Amino acid sequence: MKKYTNEFKVGLFVIFCLAGLFYLTYSTGKLDIRKKGCHIYVVFSETAGIKNKSPVMLNGYEVGKVDGIRFSYDEDKTRTILQLWLDDTAKVRVNPVVSIKTLGLMGEKYIEIASTEGKDFLRPGAVVEGKPFMDLDDMMEQAQALSKNISEQVNKLLANINGTLGENKESVAAIIKNLEQASKNFEDFSSDIKRHPWKLLFKTKEKPVKPKN
């Protein structure tokens, strides 16, 4: 039986470790092996934690990554421009919706490109406007404002109803009294039928009406 030296075993172990390290580095995007592709640029007012190497997805499928981030200083605004590298197989139609999404509740940020309709495609180097990012705090503030608005509208409606009922208090009371009397009459009728069910089988004889001369 052939025996392996310790040096051979150590060398084999090092090779396996290097291969595993290479795979992990490549799969996480740290190793930049260029494929054929192109760049487009997206302008955001806020990037919400987007970093270099963040994934870029086209209609839910990963097709690229963020390849650069820089600022643009206009006269009265500071904007952020993201350089997106897209694989050569990915084609984005004109007027896409580009937004910042989150993988899961606490996951990493990524760029989502929604592009399903249109005849023409973006050319390499095209610049598009990104959709403003809305974080959880903004959503909670809007929900609270909406809830407050709904509560105010409900209170106004209840006040109008109370006012209307107050103005027609006598009419409403008469209607309620009539309903109570009708309910009582129906209960009496039901009770009588239960005691004398034969009344449902016979009609009371009506006296004939004499014709007038």
pLDDT digits (tens, 9 = 90+) for 87-129: 988 999 999 999 998 887 667 889 999 988 888 999 999 999 9
Contacts of 128 (CB under 8 A, 6+ apart): 40, 41, 42, 43, 96, 98, 122
Q: Residue 65 contacts by C-beta under 8 Å, 6 or more apart in sequence?
A: 29, 53, 54, 55, 56, 84, 85
Tokens for 185, please give them.
């009459």
pLDDT tens figures, 181-199: 888 777 777 777 767 665 5
Q: Measure the CA–CA gap between 137 and 143, rounded to whole angstroms.
A: 10
Three-class DSSP category at 29: coil
Which residue type is seen at 166? G
User: Nearest-CA neighbor of 50 among 107, 89, 95, 105?
Assistant: 107
Domain boundaries, the chain: 34-132, 138-195
Output the pTM of the full model: 0.53
